[in-house]
Amino acid sequence: MTPQLLLHYLAHCFIKMEQIALLIFDECHYAQLDRDHPYAQIMKIFYKVGLVKLPRIFGMTASPKLGKGGSIDGLEAIMHSKMCTLEDKDEVEQYVTSPKAIAYEYGSTEKSFWRPLMVYTTKLEEIKDKCMLALGDNKVDQSTRKLLQKLHSDMIFCLENLGIWGALQATYISLVGDNYETAELVEAEISCSDSDSWKKYLHEVSSILASDCTRGGLEADISCIEVLEEPLFSAKILRLIEILSSFRIITARSLSRILQNLKVLSSWKCDFLVGVHSGHMSQKHTVTILEKFRSGQLNLLVATKVGEEGLDIHTCSLVIRFDLPETLASFIQSRGRARMPQSEYAFLVDRRNLKEVNLIQQFIEEEALMNLEISSRKCRLQITDFEEKTYKVDITGATISSVMSVPLLHRYCSTLPRDEYFNPKPEFLYHDHPDGNICSLVLPTNAPVHQFVSTPQPSKEAAKRDACLKACQALHEVGALTDYLLPEQDVNHEDLDLSDSDNEDELHQMLVPAALRVPWTEEENICSFSCYYVKFNPIPADRTYRKFALFVKEPLPDEAGNLTLDLCLSHGRMMKTQLIPSGESDILIKQIALAEKFQKMYLKVLLDRHEFQSEYLSLEDNNVLESNSSTFYLLLPVVEPEQDRFSVDWTLIRRCLSSPIFKHRSSDVEDNICQITGHLHLANGYTSLNDTLNSLVYLPCKNTFFFISDILAETDAYSSYNDSKSHVEHYSELYDIHLQYPYQPLLKAKPFFLLDNLLRKKRQSGEWREKVEYFVNLPPELCELKIIGFSKDIGSSLSLLPSLMHRLESFLVAIELKAKLSASFTEGAAVTTNRILEAITTERCTENFSLERLEVLGDAFLKFAVGRHLFLKHDVLDEGQLTRKRSNIINNHNLLKLAKLKNLQVYIRDQTLEPCKFFAFGRPCPLICYEETEKSIHPQSFVKKNGAKFEVRCNKSHHWLHKKTIADAVESLTGAFIVDSGFKAAIAFLNWMGIQVDFSPSQTDVICSMSKAFLRHADLMDVSALEKILGHEFTHKGLLIQALVHPSFNNFGGCYQRLEYLGDAVLDYLVTSYLYTRYPELKPGQLTDLRSMSVCNLSFADVAGRRSIHKFVICDSSALRESMAKYVNEIGDSVSETEHAEERTYPKVLGDLVESCMGAILLDTGFNLNYLWKIMLSLLDPVVNTSKMQFNPLRELRELCQSYNWDLQFSKLKKDCEFLVEAKIDNAEFSQHACVSNISGNTAKRMAARQLLEHLKAQGHSSKSTSLKDVIKQSKRQEAMLIGYDEVPSIPQVVEVQHPRRPLPLQHLMEANVQENGCSKDHLFNASDADPHRAGASSSLNARSRLNNICTAKHWKPPVFDCFGETGPDHLKQFIYKVLLQIAGKQNEEFEFIGEPRLKKKDAAENAAEGVLWYLKNEGHIG
C-alpha cells in the first residue's frame, strides 16, 4: 500500500490507527518534521499517544537525512522510534557491493560554442514574444500565455543541456507526442488554451533549429561520428556518449531519442522512464518498461528522479548522473542502484565549476559524518504529540489537515457540473500583510459557498492551505462533503447489481390469496360454502356451455365476487365471463367427497388425460385435505336456479363417476355375444346407446379423445369416409384394422381440445366471426368408453375455467395489496383494484395489460417529486450533488431494497398461465419445496424451452423474479395512484415506501427570496422582453435572471444549474403526461422512446434558438456566445423538412436554458403545474408535436439490421479535434458502410447511421417491423391532459433570509477577515494617500498587491522592488524605491519606474507601485 493511500484511508475513516498492529515504512527518511510527505502526515495527525492501542513502527532507509532541514532527531521524534544501524558494514558488503564513484568532467573549450546558443536563445525569445503579443486578456488567452511560457522554458533548458539537435527533438516530442497523445507534456493546460498559438510557437522553433541540423546531411544520417560536435550536441551529451561507448521529463525523452539514433551506441537498447504523475507514462507502461529492463530486452534506461527509489529496478552495473544529485539522500539512493560487482557510479561535472568537481568527495564526507552520528547516538526518544491544524467530524472521526485540504478541495471542484465553456476550479489570490501572507480563495460559481480568506501566514503556501481548510469545513457544514469528508458520489447500484447477468434474479414466494386458502373440514355432516355462479356470454353465441359455479369456504371480497373479464377465443371470438354471487350452499360430507372426485376427474381429463388410456383409473385419495394443494375451491356443474339459488348437478356428477373406468370389471364380456338391442359394441364392451351419447371416448388408433354428440342411425362403416373410400377401407388401409361390426351406426364425435391460456393478448380482427365446430364420424367398435355423460358442452365450459381462476387469483392478490395500502395510509383506498392489478402484472404474463405504461409515468413523477423535495431541502447544493442524491434515492437498487422491506415482491404477478402447470384442489403440485431443497428444486439457470425461460413450479409457488421487476413495481404503483387519484395519493404512497417527497410553502418562500441576490445583474439583460417570450411575468424577477446566468460568469456565486435541475424534472413529467394521454395505445417501449426524443437537450436547444433565448444569456465566455449564434444561424437558414436537426453541432447550454426557465416559472408560481402545462404547450410546441419531431436514425437502423440478422458495428477515431465514425455492416453475403466526421462524436454517429440507413433503403431493404414514426402516425390519438395534479399552489412570499447567499465583494470580505484578526484596514490597505488621478486609488487593496495580481494574471515576470536611494538628514531620512517590470509582448523590454521619497520603505515601495499602475492603465494594459 502506498503512503498516500493509507493516509486517504485514515483521513476518511475507512481504517483506524487502532486497527493496525505493525506499520512498516520503506524509505522512512521522508517522514520529516518540516515536510508534508504522507509519512509525516500519518504520524503527526493520526499516531496519537493517547490512543488505547497503537501499532508498532518499523522504518527502513539508507539515508536518514533528507535535504538541508533533515535531522535524525526530527526523524526519531516523528516516527516515535530509535535510529539503529549496522556496526559491521563488512557483513552488508557480502551481499551488496558498493559501486565505485567516478566524476567525468566535461566543458567546452571554445567560447564559440556559447555564441550560437545565445543567438538561438534570442530567436526563441522573439518567437515567444510575438506569440504573446497576439493574445488578449480573457481566460483562454491567459491560460495560453502560461502554457507558452512553460514550453519556452523547456526549450531553452534543452538547448543549453542537450544542444541544438536535442532541443529539436524536444519540439517534435511536444508536437506529436512521440507515440503518446499530442502535447501530453501540457495536457492539463491544453483543455482551456488556444492550441493554435502554442503549436505556432513550436513549429517556428522547430523550423529554426532544423535549418541548421539539416546542414551537412545531419538530419539524414544522425548516426555519423562526424556530426558529434558542438553546438549540435552539448559538451555534456558528448561526454555521456564517450562514457557509454567505452565501457527533467522532456529532457529524459529527448536524451532517450538521441541515444537511440546513434550507431556508435548500437549495442545499447534504450528507453526512458518518467513518473506516472507527469502524464507521460501510465502505471501499466512503467511496469512494461521495467520488465523489459529486467529481462534484457532493454539495457539502458534514461530516467528522471523517479528512478532513484520506489521502483523495483533491476540491479545495474553502471549508473550515470546526467543531472547531479542535490542532496545526500539523492546521492545515496541513486548510488544504491549500482549493486552489481565492480559496478560504477558516474557523475557528469562541469570542469569549470569547482563545486561540481568536488561534489563526490563532499557527499562521501557528509555520509561518513551521518553514519558516525548514528552509531554514537544514545537513546533520547521523547514521546510527543504534534499539533497540526485539522478539521475533524465528530460523528465519523474523519479528519483532514490543512495540507490534505488542498487536494480535497480540487477533487470537490472536479465533481461540480461543467461544460465545454466552463471548467470549475478554485482560484487563489495572494496579498501582502504586516503579519505575513493572506490567500483569498474563490470557489466556482456553482459551488454552495464561494469566498474564503486565510489568516496571515508565514508563506503563500501556508495561507493557501489555511483558506482551503476553511473552505472544506464550510462545504461539510452545508452538506457538500459527506461526514467522511468526501464529495458525495453516485453509487450506481443499478449498473452494478441489477444488470449483473449472474445475479439478476431472486427467488421469491408468490402470494396465494387468503380467500382461496381456507380449507373445509369433515367435523360436521354439512358444510356451508359460498357459491358464485359463472355466467358465460359468448360473442358470437356459436356454442353451448354447461353452467358451472365456484364454491369456496369463505365469501370472496365484493369486488372479486362480481368479477368480470373477457376471455379471448380463437378466430377473434370473445367470451364475456362474470361471477355472480349466489348465496350460500350447504353440502353434505358425502356429497363433498363426490365433488372432490369429480374435480379431480375433470382436471385429469383436462391436463393429464394420458392417465385415461388405461382400463382402470382410481380417484380415491385418503389424504385429499392433507395434500399439497395451496388453494381450496370447487368448480362444479349446477342446474337452473331455484329461488335465485343454484344447486349442484349431483345427477351429472354421479353419472360421470359411475363410468366403467373408475370400477374394477367383475367379468369379461364375450366378444361372440349377440348384439343386444339398444346397445353398441364398443372397444371395451357393450354399452347402451344412452350411455354412449354425450360421453367421452378414446380412439387408440389415433391416440385421441372425442366427445360423442350424436349416433348417426342412417350410417354405418360402409358409408363414405371421403369421396373415394368407405370407413372400412380407410381403417384397413391406414391402420390395418378390419372392422368386425361394420353395420353399427357411426358416432358423430368432436375431438377433445387442447387447453389454452385465454388471457393472452390476441390480435383483434375487428369483427367477431363464428367458428364452425369440427366433427368426425367414428365406428363404435374402435372407441373405448371413458366417462359417461361427459358432453362437449361440459368440455367447452371446462376449457374456460383455468383462465378464469388464474385471473381471479391475481385479482384477489391485488385486493389484498390494496387492503394493505389502505390500512397503512388513508389515500391507499383511492386507487382501484383493477389499477393495482395492472401495476403488479408484468409483460411476461402476456395479458392485455401490464405495469410498463404505469411504470413510465411513475418513473417521471418519482424523478420530479424527489427532485423537488431535494431542491427545496438542500438550498445550497449544486446540480451535480442534487442529481447524485436523487439518483441514489430513485435508482433501481434503492427501490428494490425499499420494495422488499414492504414485502411487495410477493404480490407481483410474473407468470403466464401455462396449462400444464395449473394446480388446484384435486391436482396438487407434485414438487414439495422445503427451505433446504429450494436451491436444488429451483436452479437459477433456467432450461430454455422454445426460446423462453422455463421454470419449475413448487407447492409454495416460488418463482424467479428479476430484481429490476421488483423495483419497477414501485414506480408502476406510483403511476397507479397518479392515474386514479392524483399527486397527493402518490406522495402518500412514496412516503409510506420510505421515499420522502414532502415539502412546505415556506421552503419555496426562502428559495425565491434568496433569488433577490441576482437582481444586481438586472441591467445585463432585458427582463421584460424575455418575460414576453416565455409568456409569464415574474413576481420574483431574480429567478428569471438566475435562470440565464451561465457558470462562466464570475459573479462570486450562483448560476442557472440548480434551476435547470428542477426544470428538467418537471418537463420530464409534463411531457410524459402529454404522451401518456395523447397516445393511449402506444406500447411502453415506444412511449419511452418518444419521451426520450421529446425531452432531449437537442429538442430544447432548438426551442431556445428559435425563440432567441440565447440573446439573454449572462456569461463571460465569448466562445459560448459564438457557438450559440452559429447554431441559431444554422437553424434559421435550414429547411425543416429536409434538414436533420440532430446532426447539427449545438451548445448544450441552449437546451439547459429552456429547462432553467421552466424551473424558474415553476418556483415563481408556487409549483402550479396547471399553469406550467399551458406554457409548455405554447412554448415547446416542436417538442410535444410529433409531426415536427426529428426521429433518431440509430434505432431504425438497428431494427433494420435485426430483421435481416446483420451485425452492425460502429468504430470511432479522434483525429485533429474531430471524431471519425464509421457505421459498418460486414457479413458473408452483404457488406455496406458509411463514414462521417464531426467535432461531436455522438453527432457523427447519428450522421453515419442516417447515411447507412439511406443506402440500405435505396437498395430495397426495409425493416420487417413498423418504424416508430409510422406507429405514431397510425396510433389512436386523444386530447392530451395533465395527469394527477391536485395540489394547491401557494404563491411564494418574500421573507427575510437568515443567511443570504449574496456574496460580499472580495475586498470587503478581506477587510472583515483582517479586522477579525486584530489588524486595522489601514495596515492592510495603505493607499489612502494615493493621488486621486492614480490608477486604482478607489480600491482598498494596496498597490503592491494589485500589481502582483496583475502580473500573475497576465503571466508576466513578478515586479522587482529595489530601494536604490536615500535622501534628507539622518533624523528625517526618506527612501526612494524603483520598480523593474518586464511586459510580455514588448520585446522583453524592461521598464523602470521610480517613486517619490517617503519616510518609510513600505510607503516608498507603495508609491512606486502606484506609478506603475498609472502607466499600465494609460497604456491600456489594465482597465
Query: Where in the sequence numbering do the catalytic residues fall?
Result: 1064, 1155
Cα–Cα distance measured from residue 154 to residue 185, given in angstroms and rounded to the nearest whole number: 10
CB 587 within 8 A of CB 599: no
Residue 1104 CB coordination number (10 Å): 27
Q: What's the length of the chain?
A: 1423
- CA-to-CA separations, 27 to 37, 329, 501, 1379, in angstroms, rounded: 12, 10, 46, 46
The residue whose grid cell reads 509519512 is 39
Across 1169-1295, the runs of DSSP E, i.e. the strands, are: 1208-1215, 1218-1226, 1231-1238
Angle between helices 235-246 and 249-260 (to 10 degrees): 50
Cα–Cα distance measured from residue 1094 to residue 1090, given in angstroms and rounded to the nearest whole number: 6
Composition of the chain by helix, strand, coil, percent to 5: 45, 15, 40
**Nearest Cα to Cα of residue 611 among 552, 551, 661, 655:** 661
Q: Beta 746-751 vs 704-712: how paired, if at all?
A: antiparallel
- CA-to-CA separations, 842 to 810, 815, 861, 965, 968, in angstroms, rounded: 12, 17, 20, 8, 9
DSSP string, 1111-1172: GG-B-S-HHHHHHHHHHHHHHHHS-TTT--GGGS---HHHHHHHHHHHHHHHHHTTS-HHHH
Amino acid at 909: R
Contacts of 1389 by beta carbon, 8 Å cutoff, 6+ apart: 1382, 1383
Cα–Cα distance measured from residue 350 to residue 251, given in angstroms and rounded to the nearest whole number: 18
Cα–Cα distance measured from residue 535 to residue 556, given in angstroms and rounded to the nearest whole number: 17
* Residue 497 exposure: Cα atoms within 13 Å on the Cβ side: 16
**Nearest Cα to Cα of residue 1224 among 1214, 1211, 1215, 1239:** 1211
Q: What is the rounded end-to-end Cα distance, in angstroms, of the chain?
A: 53
- Torsional class of 1333: left (φ above 0), alpha (ψ -120 to 50), beta (otherwise): alpha
Cα–Cα distance measured from residue 761 to residue 572, given in angstroms and rounded to the nearest whole number: 11
Give the CA radius of gyration of the chain: 44
Cα–Cα distance measured from residue 1220 to residue 1212, given in angstroms and rounded to the nearest whole number: 6
The dihedral built from the CA positions of residue 271, 272, 276 and 279, taken in this order, carries a sign that is: negative
- Torsional class of 598: left (φ above 0), alpha (ψ -120 to 50), beta (otherwise): alpha
Q: Containing H/E element for 361? A: helix 359-375
DSSP string, 411-472: HHHHTS--BTTB----EEEEEEETTEEEEEEE--TTSS--EEEPPPBSSHHHHHHHHHHHHH
Cα–Cα distance measured from residue 250 to residue 155, given in angstroms and rounded to the nearest whole number: 9
Angle between helices 402-414 and 460-477 (to 10 degrees): 60
Please state the φ and ψ torsions of residue 182, each to the nearest 5 degrees: -55, 130
Amino acid at 682: L
Please state the φ and ψ torsions of residue 660, each to the nearest 5 degrees: -60, -30
The residue whose grid cell reads 430483421 is 1203
CB 30 within 8 A of CB 37: yes
